[in-house]
Amino acid sequence: MIERLLVTGGAGFLGSHLCDRLVDAGHDVLCVDNFFTGSRRNVAHLLRRSNFELMRHDVTFPLYVEVDRIFNLACPASPVHYQHDPVQTTKTSVHGAINMLGLAKRVKARILQASTSEVYGDPEQHPQTEAYWGRVNPIGLRSCYDEGKRCAETLFFDYHRQHRLDVKVARIFNTYGPRMQPDDGRVVSNFIMQALKGEDITIYGDGRQTRSFCYVDDLIGGLLALMDSPDGLTGPVNLGNPGEFTMLELAEKVLNLVGGRSRIAFHPLPQDDPRQRRPDITLARAELNWAPRVGLDDGLRETVDYFRRTWLDAA
């Protein structure tokens, strides 16, 4: 069935890939973005499609449109961007959630919240299951994002309980792929751009901290599966790749792909940087029949090719 779908943050890294899939499926897609971290170039190829519409709008202000489903992806997701204006980051998560939930309530739309593995903070449980409540510093440099997303989850479940709103909550773990910003401060884009430019590869701490990396195509498949799941599955549902790598291992993989003469340079670990992060995706496997398919080597190869084509000359 063809539906009218709203994607907030739709010109961003994840949002633009989601818009691609929805437009190709024949849905009418309204992409909303304030272009703080999103870019028109990410969706420029969709502007000629008759079932795609782009609107400049900030979700901290109400939006009055008629839609069947809402994907709420609006919020800067990298430390560089969300720490640039931490008050606005919290507003985007909290006021944005309130406004989108209010819209969903008015038009009786199903709404999906793009939450984050950052709700787990620096976890004491490893790997992290959805039942884990997290270990988050509420007054730290990362708390504008971590606590903003935690509050957004609270709002989603309160709207579900109080107003019987049809909600879905996805906890997204580290995701990478084409259309990442070259200067967004995320580890994959940092390592690739540094290697392409022959600069030192910057590793914070001793490099033994771990992350899990999910290729963007896999992640979008998980979001779509969750949105289409039965009413009883509200989430939260972890979406990510359970493969776990140290920062040193990731740096070595990037250097092997790019080549060159870059060396590894160690710097002090930032405040509240998690030591471990890996999703338990048992729930997603069982309820969504979803699991990532793209391995890190293959995904990095695609991502390096994208950065080389798109950003190297400009850099």
Q: In this predicted model, what pLDDT tens digit does every residue of 111-153 receive, in sequence order?
A: 999 999 999 998 899 999 999 999 999 999 999 999 999 999 9
Q: What pLDDT is attached to residue 2?
A: 82
Q: Indicate the residue type of 228.
A: D
- Tokens 């985007």 correspond to what residue? 92
Residues designated catalytic: 145
Q: In this predicted model, what pLDDT tens digit does every residue of 147-157 receive, in sequence order?
A: 999 999 999 99
Q: What pLDDT is attached to residue 184?
A: 85
Q: What's the whole-number mean pLDDT along residues 279-296?
A: 98
Q: What pLDDT is attached to residue 290?
A: 98
pLDDT class of 17 with cuts at 50, 70, 90: very high
Q: Are 220 and 273 in contact (CB under 8 A)?
A: no
The CA distances from residue 64 to 8, 34, 58, 105, in Å, are 13, 16, 12, 12
Residue 313 has pLDDT above 70, yes or no: no
What is the residue-wise DSSP string for 189-216?
A: HHHHHHHHTTPPEEEETTS--EE--EEH
CATH match for 4-177+214-242+278-293 among 3.40.1050.10, 3.40.50.720, 3.50.50.60, 2.60.120.10: 3.40.50.720
Which stretch of 82-96, 167-181, 267-281, 294-308 has the lowest confidence by average pLDDT? 267-281
For residue 167, list its beta bridge partners: 111
Q: What pLDDT is attached to residue 259?
A: 87
Residue 79: how many CB atoms within 10 A of its CB?
A: 17
How many whole angstroms separate alpha carbon 49 and alpha carbon 178?
Answer: 21
How many whole angstroms separate alpha carbon 149 and alpha carbon 143?
Answer: 9
Residue 170 has pLDDT above 90, yes or no: yes
Q: What's the whole-number mean pLDDT along residues 265-290?
A: 87
Total-model pTM: 0.94
pLDDT, mean over the chain = 94
Q: What pLDDT is attached to residue 277?
A: 84
Residue 314 has pLDDT above 60, yes or no: no
Share of the chain above pLDDT 90, in %: 82
- Tokens 């493969």 correspond to what residue? 243
- Highest mean pLDDT of the ranges 51-65, 73-87, 275-289: 51-65
CA 52 to chain centre: 22
pLDDT class of 275 with cuts at 50, 70, 90: confident
